[in-house]
Structure 1
Amino acid sequence: MKISSSAFAENAKIPKIYAKLGGNQCPPLEVSGVPADAKSLVVVCHDPDAPGRDGFYHWTVWNLPAETTEITGESLPAGAVEGVTSWGHPGWGGPQPPFGTHRYQFYVYALDTTLDSPSDTKPKELIAALTSHIIDQAVLTGKFGVLDILRRD
């Protein structure tokens, strides 16, 4: 399985239009190679470099149909659920590192089921619910720094 984006390459800078203070648009994601026996997909965007023990969660979405090949925050398939992020509300909340350059890891998980989790599910609860159902997973890492908001993209 693979996750990629037309907006940035692996380990490359994320354009500022996707940052919290630069437009806060959810970057487009493409998924391929989903196992045939998958029942749903989950996407989690996590900043492991953020202060605190658990990092910072910028987006969680689950119950994406297993046939999904393109994911955007603006047009999620019917049945998909966005959970509460570290920003305290559901939906995409773009990069806004308090210092330095941070990594933003977009994980996609193929599950053997759909999840019966309400939209107020927090990231750690979501991860606990999905862990025993993972068939396959992939990750895409982008980078964004505190000074990147000044870039001209």
Structure 2
Amino acid sequence: MDLSRTLPPHPIEHLPAAPAQLQVHSEDFEDNGPLPKSAGFGFGNTSPQLSWSGAPEGTKSYLLVCHDPDAPVLGGFTHWAVMGLPADVTSLPAGAGEFGRHFGEGAVTLENDFGTKDYGGAAPPEGDAPHRYVFTVWALDTDRTGLDGSTSVAKAQFSTLGNVLARGHLTGTYEQ
């Protein structure tokens, strides 16, 4: 199958502007640089180290989402999402996305598009152009969203739109 296509714009361009900016960093890759091989689905399936700073006063929790907008399906592909990360959690070590990981009181790992509640590694089709993996962190003014682990990633993002204090992202690339 020929996977040639025009890739979509960066997904952050389609989000409403956030009141403030978070700085998101990784010890494992630079912004717009390649993810480590171990972040791939068949090569360790290890989520990269992430940290963020610049949360405004009043931050009570974070929402983290890793999304591949370049997957050859409608709407892209979500690889990882954690809702309700406590305000004092501002970094995650490599491998934090493993199944069953506890991130603190109130934090919930949501089901990704693989159908699992963990980090699903980068998995662009072999021969496809490099895919972008966008790690986005939202600082929220609430730790009580009323949502639980059965919530879809899209619903978590939509339901917290009115609670966003700041947002930041870091983009990695991966190819087979």
Answer yes or no: same fold by TM over 0.5.
yes
Is this contact kept in 2: 1:20–1:93, CA < 8 A?
yes
Give the total of aligned pairs: 146
Whole-Å Cα distance in 1 between the matches of residues 23 and 104 of structure 2?
A: 22
TM value normalised by structure 2: 0.79
Deviations 1:29-85 (A, max 9, x none): 011111111110010001011122210000000111112121232554212110011
Q: Structure 1: where are the runs of 5+ without partners?
A: 147-153
TM value normalised by structure 1: 0.90
Residue 39 of structure 1 aligns with an amino acid whose one-letter code is K
Whole-Å Cα distance in 1 between the matches of residues 153 and 72 of structure 2?
A: 16
- Secondary structure of 1:41's counterpart equals strand
Residue 59 of structure 2 aligns with an amino acid whose one-letter code is A
1:90 matched to which residue of 2?
A: 117
Is this contact kept in 2: 1:44–1:57, CA < 8 A?
yes
Q: Which deviates more from structure 2 when the two are superposed, residues 57-66 or residues 115-124?
A: 115-124
Whole-Å Cα distance in 1 between the matches of residues 147 and 57 of structure 2?
A: 23
Q: Percent identity?
A: 36
* Alignment pair present for 1:131 and 2:161: yes
- Structure with the higher fraction of residues in strand conformation: 1
RMSD value, Cα:
1.2
Is this contact kept in 2: 1:24–1:93, CA < 8 A?
yes
Residue 90 of structure 1 aligns with an amino acid whose one-letter code is K
Is this contact kept in 2: 1:7–1:14, CA < 8 A?
yes
Q: Structure 2: where are the runs of 5+ without partners?
A: 1-21
Q: Counterparts of 1:135-146 in structure 2 under 5 Å?
A: 135-146=165-176
Structure with bigger gyration radius: 2
Q: Which deviates more from structure 2 when the two are superposed, residues 38-47 or residues 119-128?
A: 119-128
